[in-house]
A and B are shown apart, each in its own frame.
Chain A
């Protein structure tokens, strides 16, 4: 079936000011994230790790959004599907493999929290949650703090469309509207809340249709087009930075793999539907675009793949060789001591 796939051609580069090196960097970020993700599925199927939650298919919106931010300056309040986003912000493949193997030195949590809860003070990544959408009220608080402190930092909070059924989403965006906060709520709409499709989640056609009730701006973007994603996010972020308030950005995308390693998506959608997605694969689409621009050819594509493979092999081997945390690591750091 893959032989018949005709990739959708179009990439909308209107208004995108990136030079060739930057355009290729986006490609590198997308490919590397995809290959790490694929490798992690393999590790799970080999029985080497307990769990994986995948971001395959979401690379374009995540990488586009990350590069639209002032990385390290703006805050990112991510969710568990944001592997490509986190990597683009400076999280490393080794960080990720230390997390999935639960090894000593894992920087996000000291191996105390599940993998894919991407957090790093240096990268401006705030702690995500597992109960979905709780990051929206928290991000509203972060954005409020930035505003009160007179900082020009923007907070980007991400979630899936499934999370938008939670009260947290509504309360958090209402707050962002009332307080005119420098906050972007980026919904990665992949059509399924685990197994439940859009039409059983909401009676509106688009998540972004809800923005007027909060008095905030809205944008809908093709989330499988990295350049359109970059441009739309950049516009929203700079409007927020300039005091223009929050934006609800809806990126239309698709998750061609199960929600996590714990579900089988064959029980809730057809193979035809998943195959159709392959025509929209954000990496293949961007590859065609870069070829047409003369920035990629077969050799360069293989070079990127080889570089990714080497980086992933090293990161995986390094994490596998690392020791497990000692028993006493389970005990700390619950409270900050009085005189820390």
Chain B
């Protein structure tokens, strides 16, 4: 089957539709997923296609959406629970980190939790500090939970399908400003990407940019600018924060000896901190410069447009960080 150029939104819809057709145990629940078709229109038309039994509108009730999803997963179904934004997932934090992530370990593998929690992340839409942060790294802290953050339509489809098929709980994080981004995506219903594999999105020799999610977009734009100045950046898209695959980062670093980590997280205790620690541990002999980090500013994200954008990373900030290194 051929590839087709589609948006991330369409890629997510296709992944959900194909997996619901493939496995009757898969069902969707969350606020607005049914009649309205999803806050971001990802499940538009699903209620007609699959019925109310498998596409379930729920009360505004994050802790029971996530908690009931854990229960339904333990009882033999494969729920896909939608939380409107990851910033509201804090209301469901106990179900996600104390149960979904730990049940298998705490109870000796008696119960698995084949659950996908889909949610959106990120700023740039003037929705203020309780909608707009990108705190997926918090969830990656806990063993037992996979955390995937696709940056392209191709990855969105392959990663979501893999998440639904896997027997472990997955937090699947989609960036709310990237749903219209297009890419060529396989139509083959058996197209699945492996969980926990990062991907080199651009080849270069001068600096390694490590990123994921929206950071991929800023980094690719920055790389085009840098290229005009004769600096070729290699971009590693982590795609998964857990399992975290740094092998391609190390391979790249051996060649470039410099690294910038680009992410939308807040600066304290973020992925950049983890990557920097691991690089100094594993790649000490290859280091020509300190690892630099580009992230959001260390403030609750403001509402007003100009100061919100100021607080977020940007391609310009990535360019500036790279130029400090090379």
Contacts and interface: CB of A to CB of B under 8 A. Distances in A.
Interface of A: 75, 77, 107-110, 112-113, 117, 119-121, 126-127, 129, 131, 134, 136-146, 148-149, 167-168, 171-172, 174-175, 178, 332-336, 338, 340
B104 A336 contact: yes
A137 B99 CA distance: 12
Interface stretch (B13-21, B108-116, B276-284): B108-116
B98 A134 contact: yes
B64 A334 contact: no
Nearest to B58: A175
Sorted nearest first, the 4 A-B pairs with minimum C-beta distance are: A141-B71, A137-B67, A141-B68, A145-B75
A133 B167 CA distance: 26
B290 interface: no
B238 interface: no
Contacts of B95: 134, 137-138
Interface string B18-59: 000000000100000000000000000000000001000011
B111 A336 contact: no
B106 interface: yes
Interface of B: 27, 53, 58-59, 61, 63-64, 66-77, 79, 94-95, 98-99, 103-112, 143-144, 146, 166-168, 195
A140 B63 contact: no
Contacts of B53: 148
B98 A175 contact: no
B111 A121 contact: yes
B69 A109 contact: no
Contacts of B59: 171, 174-175, 178
Contacts of B68: 137-138, 140-141, 144, 172, 175
Nearest to A140: B68
B27 to A, nearest CB: 7
Contact of A117 (B61, B66, B67, B106): B106
A149 B74 CA distance: 13
B92 to A, nearest CB: 9
A126 B106 CA distance: 12
A333 B168 CA distance: 11
B108 A334 contact: no
B67 A127 contact: no
27 contacts: A108-B110, A127-B106, A127-B107, A127-B111, A131-B94, A134-B94, A137-B67, A137-B68, A138-B68, A138-B70, A138-B74, A140-B71, A141-B70, A141-B75, A142-B75, A148-B53, A149-B75, A167-B63, A168-B94, A171-B59, A171-B61, A171-B63, A171-B67, A333-B105, A333-B109, A335-B146, A336-B109
